[in-house]
Chains A and B, each alone.
Chain A
Amino acid sequence: GAVVSQHPSRVICKSGTSVKIECRSLDFQATTMFWYRQFPKQSLMLMATSNEGSKATYEQGVEKDKFLINHASLTLSTLTVTSAHPEDSSFYICSASRGRGASPLHFGNGTRLTVT
C-alpha cells in the first residue's frame, strides 16, 4: 500500500488565491521530504527539500516566498502556493524516504493544480 499520502489530488483555484498541499508519510518518520514540480511531458524538477523543524532548502530559481514549505512534524510537510497564477498550473509531487542509503524515494500520488 501507499507509504506517502498527498492531498488533494486535484485542485482548481482562481488567480490570486493560495493553495495548500499536504504530504504525509504513513508508516515511517521522515525528517526530510522533497517537493517536485512536473510540467507536461517534462521530467521531475526538484523545487525544495523540506526539513523537519528547520527551514526548507530551495533550489535555484524557486521563489521561497511564493512556495511556502512547512515541515512541522516528522510525518507531515505542506506546500502552499501563494498568490497563484496560471503559470503555476502544474503537477506537484512530494516524496519521502525511510532512510538515506538504499532506501528508495516513495512518492505521493501528486496534486494537479489548475489556476484559472
Chain B
Amino acid sequence: GQNIDQPTEMTATEGAIVQINCTYQTSGFNGLFWYQQHAGEAPTFLSYNVLDGLEEKGRFSSFLSRSKGYSYLLLKELQMKDSASYLCGAKDSNYQLIWGAGTKLIIKP
C-alpha cells in the first residue's frame, strides 16, 4: 500500500532551526510536496522536490532522497507565525497526491 509518515507534533524555539522529516512509500513517484496549513485555513504550497538534493527558498529548504524514500523540510530563524501544520505529500505514478497526516509545529518564545 501507499503510505506517508511524518511526526505528529514538534516543538521548537523562536529563532531556532527545526527539521520535519517525512518518509514515503508510493506506487511510482512523481515528486514530493510540502504545504503549510494554519488552523482553520487551507494549505499553502511551500516546496516541490523531484530530484535528489536540497531546494532552498528563503528560510525554508526541502531535501529529497529518492533511494531512501525520504524528505525533510528545514525551517530556519523560526518565527511565531511559523506555528502551523506541515503536510508532506508524494505524487504516485497516477499523479495522485498521497498525503501524510501532517506535523503540528509549535513555536515557543
Interface residues of A (CB under 8 A from B): 6, 34, 42-44, 46, 49, 91, 93, 100-102, 104-110, 112
Contacts and interface: CB of A to CB of B under 8 A. Distances in A.
Contacts of A102: 31, 48, 50
Given A43-B101, A43-B102, A105-B45, A100 B95 contact: yes
A105 B33 contact: yes
Contacts of B95: 100-101
18 contacts: A6-B42, A34-B97, A42-B101, A43-B87, A44-B87, A44-B99, A100-B30, A100-B95, A101-B31, A101-B91, A102-B31, A102-B48, A104-B45, A105-B33, A105-B97, A106-B45, A109-B42, A110-B42
Nearest to A91: B40
Interface residues of B, number: 20
B91 to A, nearest CB: 8
B43 A44 contact: yes
A108 B96 CA distance: 18
Contacts of A112: 40
Contacts of B45: 104-106
Contact of A108 (B42, B50, B87, B97): B42
A100 to B, nearest CB: 4
